[in-house]
């Protein structure tokens, strides 16, 4: 990258492409869980991805650029790993625990990306753009907290008796 603006636009394109891919993927994920609370939360995550596509299109326009995506290998990898992780689990509490893990991995990637974009927008003096990106970031952080709350509320997926583990050496 020759300058921060080009880096900003490249990362914006990666987020744009990722959000466009995540919306449908999250809606498919939501249909696989038996947990109503988890289903609602993953659907909301999918809706937010759809809204973010529109926000990102507006940011491209504000920057005088045409919205264009760039494939994100990280999100593609998370989704592929998620398919492997959930293969053969069927609808079960273990499957739901895996879905939560996948959604959290997606969220952590999004938080890192939107935090960087917001900081760069500030450095580039893109005031309103920075506000929009920081608003998206806040929603991603809230989603992470909601996923953590659902994970805790479901308890141990194999019942109250925890597996026995040896002490960790160190």
In the chain, where the domains are located: 4-153
Nearest to 55 by CA among 111, 24, 16: 16
Show pLDDT as tens, one digit a residue, over the chain (170 residues). 479 999 999 999 999 999 999 999 999 989 888 888 999 999 999 999 999 999 999 999 999 999 999 999 999 999 999 999 888 888 788 889 999 999 999 999 999 999 999 999 999 999 999 999 999 999 999 999 999 998 888 765 555 555 566 677 77
pTM: 0.87
CATH number, span 4-153? 1.20.1260.10
What's the pLDDT at 153? 83
Task: Give dist(CA 62, CA 68) in Å, integer.
Answer: 14
Give Cα 103 to chain centroid, integer Å. Answer: 6
* pLDDT at position 89: 82
- CB-based burial, 54-77: b 16+ in 10 Å, e otherwise: ebbeebbeebeeebebeebeebee
The pLDDT value recorded for residue 81 is 92
């Amino acid at each position: 990258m020759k300058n921060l603006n080009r880096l900003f636009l490249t990362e914006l394109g990666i987020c744009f492409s990722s959000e466009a891919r995540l919306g449908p993927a999250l809606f498919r994920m939501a249909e696989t869980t038996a947990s109503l609370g988890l289903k609602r939360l993953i659907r909301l995550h999918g809706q937010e991805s759809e809204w973010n596509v529109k926000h990102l299109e507006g940011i491209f326009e504000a920057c005088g650029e045409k919205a264009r995506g760039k494939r994100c290998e990280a999100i593609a990898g998370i989704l592929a790993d998620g398919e492997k992780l959930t293969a053969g689990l069927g609808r079960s509490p273990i499957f739901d625990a895996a879905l939560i893990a996948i959604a959290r991995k997606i969220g952590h990637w999004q938080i890192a990306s939107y935090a960087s974009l917001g900081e760069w927008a500030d450095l580039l003096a893109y005031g309103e753009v920075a506000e929009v990106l920081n608003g998206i970031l806040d929603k991603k952080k809230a989603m992470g907290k909601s996923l953590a709350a659902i994970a805790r509320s479901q308890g141990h997926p194999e019942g109250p008796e925890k597996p026995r583990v040896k002490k960790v050496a160190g």
